[in-house]
Structure 1
Amino acid sequence: MASFQSFNFEAEIPQELLISQIMQIHATISKLESLRPSKQVNTLLTHLVKLCILPSSIEIEALPQEVKTMRESLIPLCGKAEGLLELEFSTFISQTPNPVKNLTLFPYHGNYVKLANYENKILQENGVVNAKKVAFIGSGPMPLSSIILATHHMESTHFDNFDIDEKANEVASKIVASDKALEKRMKFVTQDIMEAKERLGQYDCIFLAALVGMRRSEKVKILGHISKYMKEGGVLLVRSAKGSRAFLYPIVEENDMVNFEVLTIFHPTDDVINSVVLLRKPKA
């Protein structure tokens, strides 16, 4: 296995060093037979995340083409590994006596709590309070964002979690079923969001997970589809990434968000990876 330098400084990491380390990790990850959780996969991904949250002024668009190509291959690999990690933990947690109470066992639980705090604050600052109905698109096997938002921030809101993967929804709904009050307010829908149409008009607020539409062209199509069917005056919260964090997740650019009014763009500087973009569908 490749060896990596460890960093522990407040100063910005030099761009060449950051890129060479990320390329080294990508070279190792892309040769692995499986991305299922293992000591090697976990070590590589932990190191990658730590690198990507170091202070850096990197601009993805300005990078050489070979680095951009590497990034386009790295994001789906990380997405697959993340999905497998979530599936393993959610399967295990769903078999414990009180699954909802055991979600803290998930290694990145703290990050989800922080991200939900940011998102809720952004929604409130923009007048989105007491939303009756929310859709979360791309909820995955471990629907932590929905559960944290529903239990700590939006205590009377109904959540519909959309995911294309039936297995993900199956295991996620097992976790939620352990809490009867939560189960009443949370449903799981197995559907490609491009096939959900009039239904999207029911929601006051829609969340779009970072890994729904990994390529820019896909993301733009999805945003266009949601804007067509969501209700006028409704808000769409899109997770994005900036700078070196964009080696882990896709970036949503301002010109990708046609037909929306941009309310807020927030870029975290702590260990939260996703940026938050809040959009509103204007009233005709």
Structure 2
Amino acid sequence: MAALQFHGMEAEISAAFLVDRIIDLHQSILKLETLRPCKKVNNLFTNLVNLCILPCSIDVSTLPPNLQAIRESLIILCGQAEGLLELEFSTLLSKIPKPLNNLTLFPYYQNYVKLANLENKILNDNGIVNPKKVAFVGSGPLPLTSIIMAMQHMKGTYFDNYDVDSVANDVARKIVGSDAELEGRMKFCSSDIVEVKEELGGYDCVFLAALVGMNKEEKVKIVRHLRKYMKEGGILLVRSAQGGRAFLYPVVKVGDLVGFEILSIFHPTDDVVNSVILARKQTS
């Protein structure tokens, strides 16, 4: 099979070419002594992301078991590397004056700006403008989506950021604590979201980060929990992945969102990696 096929003006890589390169990169990543940011680690993950965002009509659900295992391994490795990269930059930012003025030091900052702009537009297009209270599940040590949303798009909204890692929350709290107005609207909760119940009824909108629930079973369990405790008519914004991007992040399908009405599905074709699904909790 040819590596390239042309669809309109844009070259699409074949599934076979993508898979061969993925296998090579996975082997190289497994040989790394550490996933902490350094030139070698950064280069490998940059190459992986650049490969996975190329146009490709692969459906990862049809892959044989050996490739499914590589995909699951890659998602975990990407999650760990992403967490370490965010922690390093968050720690660096927390030690300098006015960290919020220096967020551009983070190498993928512009991707977060693009994704936040996109998600805000999807929310606005569906009538969700300046929600009163938002939960962000899986905020991490550098909660860029919450910060960008709060400072640029939802200037009166209160944000509760949930992460199981209290160290991540401590560093994130320091960055947000440098701005009194933002600190007043942003809380950090060190909890597994499936342990959070009644509080979920207080949110107009819940964001579910791509790496919360690393496989289908975990993701479906979390979505069911949110469905049970969110308020009726509450909005759920879920990040997913399609095509080659599904080697970086778990896939959420419409069938996984039982009890939710699907409002919008968006699949990026540029350097934004995550797909976005917007859904509303149906009235029971």
Residues 130 and 153, structure 2, Cα contact 8 Å, conserved in 1: no
Aligned to 1:3: none
Query: 1:12 aligns to what SS in structure 2?
Result: strand
Aligned to 2:3: none
Counterparts of 1:17 and 1:243, CA distance in 2: 13
Aligned to 1:71: 71
Q: Please show how residues 24-63 of structure 1 align to structure 2 within 5 Å.
A: 24-63=24-63
Aligned to 2:243: 243
Counterparts of 2:20 and 2:238, CA distance in 1: 30
Counterparts of 1:148 and 1:276, CA distance in 2: 17
Query: 2:259 aligns to what SS in structure 1?
Result: coil
Counterparts of 1:218 and 1:184, CA distance in 2: 32
Q: How far has the Cα of 1:39 moved from its partner? A: 1.0
Aligned to 1:6: none
| Residues 201-224 of structure 1, C-alpha deviations (whole Å, 9 max, x = no match) | 000000000000001000000000
Residues 134 and 160, structure 2, Cα contact 8 Å, conserved in 1: yes
| Residues 7-58 of structure 1, C-alpha deviations (whole Å, 9 max, x = no match) | xx94111221211111111111122221111111100000000001111111
1:135 aligns with 2:135: yes
Residues 162 and 189, structure 2, Cα contact 8 Å, conserved in 1: yes
Aligned to 1:170: 170
Aligned to 2:6: none
Counterparts of 1:130 and 1:95, CA distance in 2: 31
1:255 aligns with 2:255: yes
Q: Which amino acid aligns with 1:126?
A: N
Aligned to 1:217: 217
Counterparts of 2:229 and 2:193, CA distance in 1: 11
Aligned to 2:202: 202
Query: 1:251 aligns to what SS in structure 2?
Result: coil
Aligned to 2:5: none
Aligned to 1:146: 146
Q: Which amino acid aligns with 1:81?
A: A
Counterparts of 2:13 and 2:40, CA distance in 1: 24
Q: How far has the Cα of 1:283 moved from its partner? A: 2.0
- The alignment yields a C-alpha RMSD, in angstroms, of 1.0
Q: How far has the Cα of 1:151 moved from its partner? A: 0.5
